[in-house]
Structure 1
């Protein structure tokens, strides 16, 4: 192991010195983002690139000027519709462009819309006929210089002058604040004092087409030609630049390039992508289509304000995140999901889902992919060095790796990993799919010994206490505390823990730190006391994670740094020399979502070489690279629109104007942008419309927001952006006012005021008038009511008098009826009396008067006559009938109305029956026999429709 460390340190010092002194790394691939023409809606070829102060990127494209603000692509065309071959932006934000027989600039109008202003119109017609293609634009000493094959135009203070090419120009170059032109006959010309002066010895390039010139140390210049390679000029002589870079260019043809921080040179090629070399010509990086580019022909390259690289391709646009400490090994290096990595015998070994792979550590990583270890075809979960032996835990078993192939299969069961057993030299415990196994390192190497009995569950995380004979195993939601027997054949004791603290439920992770086992719950770390048989908190370690999100994995690397994962993200506490720790979390936010859950792999070889396993490969992290790549983003309101107009704000330097919208346009729409090009998928926006929104909206990747039916008033739309590192931009805002509708305008309210005053006046007069009328009508009404009341009283008095009269009549009638009833009774008495008298008469007739003396006979006859006279002169019967009819007049009337066919005799019979007279009395009154009464009753019942069961008298009483 000491040999490996010393070798590695030597390798770092010799081979990675360039990487330590700059940003371009020679190991792995930088993050690459390709943009196809279907995204930017332009032509295939992109000839030139520049960037404005806001960070927007501009491309000279076959179909016009392409603008990209990080969220949206915009295209602007020249009036003649030709391709744009060059673009340059000055300090005022003017975007100068050149095409075929046309050049000028785009500038923002008051609304932020880019408008084109032609400068070619300033030259006379004869010169205008032969402008040709504007290939290069430079800003030099306050002038804007447009260079074509035939002329050079100089623009300043809205004036234009030109110089004709002595013969024919090729290209021009601005290097070290000097302007050069290549002429086909005179060689390289330097522009001084408004004149072109040939450089001595530069005619050697007459048969060469120079595309770029780069500054080198000691005032030397590097010339990149199309087909002849690279040359160095010291001002007196020109020599080939015999380097790796020159060999590449001569083989693949050069289309120029650019320089990064005056330390690295980017060289574009026609056939094989591009290379990045140092100032000594050593190739640091080579990217082509096989390594992620969408095209191998690089027409132009540009370094933006964050030292990242943009490529204009023959078909498309590519962004390369060079200014990052992360590079990646992906499918182009033959590796997939990475679970573990380790360096052993000068090779970097990587355990992946496709097997175990390796790459020589002392060779360049630029072009060579990883090779598969022979014999590993299944999923490899772990690769470890134990007792100077390389072990691979894979789906196909426990494997010993030697000379980059499987030399021995220790066990055919699937394994997750291995650990050395404390207190048992040369013994190793392996975690398999169904428990644990024991291995021993003997004379013949590592050998399988036995399966440990007593536990056959599976897990992929376990640690062993170094100073105690415990094997701790976390298997959600339990923690197992197991004691191995002295012969390592079984577990003598197994105890299951459901929690390690009464205060914090659950067990988040199990980790091995500083040669001790720690148990973590909610970022509180505990150790186990064998004497107390309980867990106690290590408050010092817990304090380190006080302001960190709840972690699920913690790994201590070889330098004592603590790597932790949380919410599919990664962070690290870097250990300082004094034992304290420094938190570093922001750089790793770009890895969020790409880490392998439950298999976090961090392999720290040294601060400059840290390997982290990902779901789609392996990333290399150089912690020595400063965090200058983490900058505060900028946020812009890219557009502000409403139904009748659109205001593009992203192109304006400042937005101080307050916009006024009519009420009919109270449906507004905002789009946001942030010229942040690395990890754009993790760029978030938050916005707030004051006073409509009470608080900032949640962070979201959506870069658009609409508001509908806003009320009139003043509003401020505020927007901020947060990049993938968690850095929040300053607030960008736009102010606008929505005018009220005409019916809520100030003049309308003034009109409403006067209308209300007038209405109050009119209504007041009408109310007073109505009050007067109401008083008049009230008087009339009172008079009417008085008269009505008086009339009512009179009417009631009259009715009362009538009622009294009626009562009197009723009383008289009652008296009459009473008298009639009395008379009826008297008449009946008389009838009875007459009957008695008739009886007496009949008895007197039976007396023989002959036996009487004359005086007695005379008196007898006198008596007889007197009785007969009394009977014959008595009219009581007629009076009786009259009185009976008077008393029962109403009854007889109702009976007659109900039964019209009833006879008078039957009416009389009904009256007698109603009076409850007996048959005998009826017979006497009606002067009929008793049988005649019964016959009359029968006929009456029949006429009245009564059956035998119905009572006749009751029926008559009901009428």
Structure 2
């Protein structure tokens, strides 16, 4: 029963609140978006703001009317370029009424959606047009449009104007609960009834005060905001000072009017210090100024849009405040940076940041003031925890004990990531340092350092202890460590490393404690460890919870058993209901995407109304009791549709145009689209398709422009849709248009083409017949020509064959001649050798002593000598050989002499011998020189012929 009550309580706190209306939060600041002059391209001052039925926002600016559709800013000046001070939109007529200096009228869309200005000042007579002055207020009252200046008030209806002059001098006018009021500087507050101005009782007390705003209060009371005198209430009988916190602020900073949010909260503009939002009792809930994120401290006007978000027209710029959101933020203006952890202790909110440990009082009501640094913490703080009623800070400076907002004790100087209590060891704490684990003991409300745990000195920032088996599990990519502490807590008895926890799924995604049990996750499959089987097994029930969720990297279970998870730098939560089932919620957190601290996700659930989430640039406060009605379906519009020749429509068109016809020469079309979604506007995406040109929708993109070139003629439908930052899709908007065909693809053109085709067929047919007859004639001529060419070719081939035979015969004869030359040379060499032998014999005979011989012998020797000499002298074979060689190689010697005129006769002989492929020895014998002389002669011949060392001499001679 106790569990059931707790579950119902959780359901009421987490689920039911989503049906409650939104409210202004008093903890932290809403998201603020500033728009500068460079963004909207207008003047500095913005005096009034309104919104049309499509959601577009309009500003009365010093340079004219400014329109913002969520994507594009457009400016529309008045004809006299005067500043616009007042603005009111009539959704029924689609008119945007504006007022300036001596000028007032309205803007209305023309046939193409362009805003055109229509002046109403021309309806005033010359007499009444004098001294109109500034039109400060415009109201829609009982079918009339009311334009109020300091001197006159004009009533416009059915294109006619009537006026009422101010009794003395008007200040401002107000429309409250369908009652129209004017402040007169002498007569007090006047109510307009039955075309008359009637003074209200007791309001002359405010004649010395400028009333800039009037608000309805409960019990049929009115609240007046004056320029310098503060706030007053009126009960239609007397004026009373509104002695509240808001009144003190206005007296100090001067009021410039304001707005009301849902009849529950009042926005008060100031000159000196931004704007405040208070409740109907005057208690300030939010203060927005330059220090808190506004770009200017002078707020000229405020406006609440159709989603209860707040717009501020500033003295220099525009601000959008995302008021209708469950999130508020503590950023640099609260003195904090990147937040890694947070905790509530002794009525203080502590946050561990990259700049140390900070604290803020956690009392009701929450005071809007900066965080203070805990004395003694200036280094990186990784964690802040309450263990055994002691506040421990894990920081780069060591393990710190925090008492009375200061460091009371440093347990260990080494850097620490966090602490855990040790199961089955009451009073003992294990801390994870930069190089392992340490043991601390808590006794008598005093924590002391005990020892370093031996056996493991690696580090990480994620570890959990399984309660029933006393294992310490440590995830350090890419491994999972399983460790068991010894009984005396001085060492690890077991250190086991796991590379994976599943055979089918590699890797280890995260390590988390769910229902006091350690779970290991990989690819959204959750496992536990069985000590008996010494293996991991999957928990199908937990796995089923994350089946349709993107792969998570961190899971945190809060004290209500809700499971917070991060994925792709985004955050989601599975809220546990009273029946034990979980409800998935992601949309509200989509605006935090990219701002979470990667691998250091921090979610601190104090209660469903106060949930703190650590960010890279501060701390987010989430109130789950605020309705999710702020997550609405967005709208999407065509901002413009244009071709190369014209802008066909713009986004101000009241009704979509049909039967749009575009000439073919303008078939390059361009679409721009917008979604008047101002919360997290940078995350709005679009998808589109052009039918029948495209079959599928394009991927979601932040681009709001699309062009198509060279479209063919035909009927097209351009469809667009938008998706906001919460993942909600809009309906589909479409434009139907037709591109006319070019003149050469018109029906008459096709008829002409058909007739021309018939004529062409007739002409071509006749020409083909004539061509056939000509072709037959030319074919005969061609065949005759081919026959003659073939015959000529055969004759030519015969002639070439005969020439080839002659050449072969010549080559054969030449070969025979060369062979004979070789044989002749060989014979001549034999003769030379014979003569050499005979000369030797003659030489020997000369050496014989004739005196020693008798006469008969001497005669015989003499006769033999003469016979041998005669044989040698009469042998002319060598001279015949030389003559023969020169005759045979006459042409070669002639060509060689012509090519190299400086060659000598002896070199010509050498060239001839080389050409005959004679050896060096043979050449030496013929030329009667040594073999060395032959080599020298060859060298000189190569030099004269200009040959390098690599070129072959004999081959060169044969090529001549």
Say whether residues 1:56 and 2:56 are aligned partners.
yes
CA distance in 2, matches of 1:45, 1:950: 118
CA distance in 2, matches of 1:494, 1:537: 23
- Name the structure 2 match of 1:629: 630
- Determine if contact 1:113/1:647 at 8 Å carries over to the other structure: no
Give 3-state SS (helix, strand or coil) of 2:128's partner. helix
- Name the structure 2 match of 1:192: 193
> Once the 2 structures are TM-superposed, how far is the Cα of residue 343 of structure 1 from its aligned partner?
0.3
Say whether residues 1:39 and 2:39 are aligned partners.
yes
Say whether residues 1:751 and 2:775 are aligned partners.
no
CA distance in 1, matches of 2:485, 2:737: 75
Give 3-state SS (helix, strand or coil) of 2:85's partner. strand
CA distance in 1, matches of 2:522, 2:782: 95
- 5+ unaligned residues in a row in structure 1: which ranges? 1-8, 800-937, 952-959
Deviations 1:186-225 (A, max 9, x none): 1111111122111122212211111111111111111111
- Determine if contact 1:602/1:610 at 8 Å carries over to the other structure: yes
> Once the 2 structures are TM-superposed, how far is the Cα of residue 772 of structure 1 from its aligned partner?
7.1
- Name the structure 2 match of 1:521: 522
Alignment map for 1:465-614 (pairs within 5 Å): 465-614=466-615
- Determine if contact 1:28/1:366 at 8 Å carries over to the other structure: no
How many residue pairs match? The answer is 792
CA distance in 2, matches of 1:270, 1:789: 108
Cα distance, 1:104–1:25 mapped onto 2, change above 3 Å:
same
CA distance in 2, matches of 1:50, 1:947: 123
- Determine if contact 1:28/1:365 at 8 Å carries over to the other structure: no
- Name the structure 1 match of 2:417: 416
- Name the structure 1 match of 2:901: none
CA distance in 2, matches of 1:459, 1:585: 29
Cα distance, 1:408–1:380 mapped onto 2, change above 3 Å:
same
- 5+ unaligned residues in a row in structure 2: which ranges? 1-8, 796-875, 890-960
- Determine if contact 1:286/1:366 at 8 Å carries over to the other structure: no
- Determine if contact 2:227/2:256 at 8 Å carries over to the other structure: yes
Cα distance, 1:760–1:421 mapped onto 2, change above 3 Å:
same
Cα distance, 1:403–1:950 mapped onto 2, change above 3 Å:
closer
Deviations 1:393-439 (A, max 9, x none): 00000000000000000000000000000000000000000000000
Cα distance, 1:945–1:306 mapped onto 2, change above 3 Å:
same
> Once the 2 structures are TM-superposed, how far is the Cα of residue 712 of structure 1 from its aligned partner?
2.6
> Once the 2 structures are TM-superposed, how far is the Cα of residue 545 of structure 1 from its aligned partner?
0.7
> Once the 2 structures are TM-superposed, how far is the Cα of residue 789 of structure 1 from its aligned partner?
14
State the superposition RMSD in angstroms: 2.9
- Name the structure 2 match of 1:248: 249
Alignment map for 1:797-836 (pairs within 5 Å): none
Alignment map for 1:784-863 (pairs within 5 Å): none
Deviations 1:581-628 (A, max 9, x none): 111100000000000011000000000000000000000000011100
> Once the 2 structures are TM-superposed, how far is the Cα of residue 701 of structure 1 from its aligned partner?
1.5
Alignment map for 1:650-799 (pairs within 5 Å): 650-768=651-769
CA distance in 1, matches of 2:233, 2:783: 130
- Name the structure 1 match of 2:338: 337
> Once the 2 structures are TM-superposed, how far is the Cα of residue 444 of structure 1 from its aligned partner?
6.4
- Name the structure 2 match of 1:90: 90
- Determine if contact 1:22/1:263 at 8 Å carries over to the other structure: no
CA distance in 1, matches of 2:785, 2:610: 117
- Determine if contact 1:63/1:83 at 8 Å carries over to the other structure: yes
> Once the 2 structures are TM-superposed, how far is the Cα of residue 22 of structure 1 from its aligned partner?
4.3
Cα distance, 1:747–1:432 mapped onto 2, change above 3 Å:
same
> Once the 2 structures are TM-superposed, how far is the Cα of residue 945 of structure 1 from its aligned partner?
8.4
Cα distance, 1:711–1:487 mapped onto 2, change above 3 Å:
same
- Name the structure 1 match of 2:117: 116
- Name the structure 1 match of 2:75: 75
- Determine if contact 1:576/1:582 at 8 Å carries over to the other structure: yes
Say whether residues 1:257 and 2:258 are aligned partners.
yes
- Determine if contact 2:514/2:557 at 8 Å carries over to the other structure: yes
> Once the 2 structures are TM-superposed, how far is the Cα of residue 367 of structure 1 from its aligned partner?
3.0
- Determine if contact 1:285/1:366 at 8 Å carries over to the other structure: no
> Once the 2 structures are TM-superposed, how far is the Cα of residue 729 of structure 1 from its aligned partner?
1.0
> Once the 2 structures are TM-superposed, how far is the Cα of residue 454 of structure 1 from its aligned partner?
0.6
- Name the structure 2 match of 1:145: 146
Deviations 1:437-459 (A, max 9, x none): 00001236100000001100010
CA distance in 1, matches of 2:349, 2:766: 103
> Once the 2 structures are TM-superposed, how far is the Cα of residue 528 of structure 1 from its aligned partner?
0.9
- Name the structure 1 match of 2:908: none
Cα distance, 1:761–1:165 mapped onto 2, change above 3 Å:
same
- Name the structure 1 match of 2:269: 268
- Determine if contact 1:469/1:483 at 8 Å carries over to the other structure: yes
Say whether residues 1:616 and 2:629 are aligned partners.
no
> Once the 2 structures are TM-superposed, how far is the Cα of residue 646 of structure 1 from its aligned partner?
2.0
CA distance in 1, matches of 2:445, 2:124: 90
Deviations 1:271-327 (A, max 9, x none): 111111111111111111110011111100000000000000011100000000000
CA distance in 2, matches of 1:716, 1:493: 69
> Once the 2 structures are TM-superposed, how far is the Cα of residue 576 of structure 1 from its aligned partner?
0.9
CA distance in 2, matches of 1:635, 1:949: 110
Say whether residues 1:216 and 2:217 are aligned partners.
yes
Deviations 1:821-857 (A, max 9, x none): xxxxxxxxxxxxxxxxxxxxxxxxxxxxxxxxxxxxx
CA distance in 2, matches of 1:402, 1:653: 66
CA distance in 1, matches of 2:511, 2:456: 19
Deviations 1:13-54 (A, max 9, x none): 9xxx9x987420000000000011111111111000000011
CA distance in 2, matches of 1:790, 1:148: 112
CA distance in 1, matches of 2:125, 2:604: 69
Give 3-state SS (helix, strand or coil) of 2:759's partner. helix
Deviations 1:679-737 (A, max 9, x none): 11111112222223332222222222222232332222222111110111111222222
Give 3-state SS (helix, strand or coil) of 2:490's partner. coil
Larger radius of gyration: 1
> Once the 2 structures are TM-superposed, how far is the Cα of residue 263 of structure 1 from its aligned partner?
0.3
Cα distance, 1:465–1:785 mapped onto 2, change above 3 Å:
closer
- Name the structure 1 match of 2:840: none
Cα distance, 1:529–1:196 mapped onto 2, change above 3 Å:
same
> Once the 2 structures are TM-superposed, how far is the Cα of residue 738 of structure 1 from its aligned partner?
2.4
Cα distance, 1:691–1:22 mapped onto 2, change above 3 Å:
closer
- Determine if contact 2:22/2:627 at 8 Å carries over to the other structure: no
- Normalised by the size of structure 1, how large is the TM-score? 0.79
> Once the 2 structures are TM-superposed, how far is the Cα of residue 658 of structure 1 from its aligned partner?
3.7
CA distance in 1, matches of 2:201, 2:402: 64
Cα distance, 1:536–1:615 mapped onto 2, change above 3 Å:
same
Deviations 1:476-524 (A, max 9, x none): 1111110100000000011111111122221101100111111111111
CA distance in 1, matches of 2:216, 2:401: 53
Q: Which has the higher contact order (CA 8 A, sep 6+)?
A: 2
Deviations 1:514-552 (A, max 9, x none): 111111111111111111111111111111111100000
> Once the 2 structures are TM-superposed, how far is the Cα of residue 154 of structure 1 from its aligned partner?
1.1
